[in-house]
Amino acid sequence: MKMRLTSVAAIGLLVGVSACSKNNDDLPPPPPPQETAATTPVAATPTPTDTVTNTVVPGSMEEFMQQAGTDTVYFAYDSSSLDGEARDTLTKQASWLTKYPNVRITIEGHADERGTREYNLALGERRANAIVTFMQQNGIGASRVTTISYGKERPAVEGSSESAYAQNRRGVTTLSGAAAS
C-alpha cells in the first residue's frame, strides 16, 4: 500500500509539473528582427497631402514679417526723412496692419553712436514720428501706435564703422498686442 501511495504521488507530481510547463501559446511573441542599415526601408517621398503647407499663425509677428519683408527701415546720417525703400517697406507694413485692426504697434527710433545721448534720443524720436506720420497717412489710427526713442542706447550692430552706423540708424516696428476697444 505504501508503494501504491508513492506511485500515485509520483504520477500526480508528473501531471502537475507537465501542467505547469509553458506551452508555446502562453509565450509572448519573439521580438522583431533588428534592422540593419542595409535593410532599413527608405521613407517614401511625402505627397502634397502629407506636408503642412502653412504653419504661420494669422496676425502673428511671423506673418507680419512674411508680408512686410522686414520690421526695420533705415535712415540717412542725421536724417529722419523716409527714402523710397523705407516707404515701400512701410506701405507693406500698413497693408498688413489694415487686415488686423486690433493689433497695436510700437515704433522704435534708433540712432548710431555719433552725437550726444540727448541729441540721439531726439533724433530717434523724430525718426519714430516720421514712421507714425506715414502710417497715419496710410490708414493706421494714432490710437494703435506708440513710439519710443532709444537713441544710441540699443545698437543693432556694435562697432564704429560706416557699415555699423548705417545699420543702427533705423526705425523698428514691433507688434504690441490688441488695441483697446
Strand ordering across the sheet containing 103-110: 72-74, 170-178, 103-110, 145-151
Is the residue at 23 inside a domain?
A: no
For the cut 60, the answer to whether the pLDDT of residue 135 exceeds it is yes
Is the residue at 46 inside a domain?
A: no
Is the residue at 94 inside a domain?
A: yes
- Please tell me the predicted confidence (pLDDT) of residue 55: 83
Is the residue at 29 inside a domain?
A: no
Is the residue at 31 inside a domain?
A: no
Is the residue at 43 inside a domain?
A: no
Is the residue at 50 inside a domain?
A: no
CATH code at 140? 3.30.1330.60
- Alpha carbon separation from 31 to 9, 21, 27 (Å, rounded): 40, 22, 12
Is the residue at 156 inside a domain?
A: yes
- Please tell me the predicted confidence (pLDDT) of residue 137: 97
Provide the residue range defining the domain that includes 79.
Answer: 61-176
Say whether pTM exceeds 0.85: no
Give the confidence band of 177 by pLDDT, cuts at 50, 70, 90: confident
Taking the CA of residue 101 as centre, how many other CA atoms within 13 Å lie in the half-sphere pointing to its CB? 3
What is the tally of structural domains in the chain?
1
Residue type for position 106: T
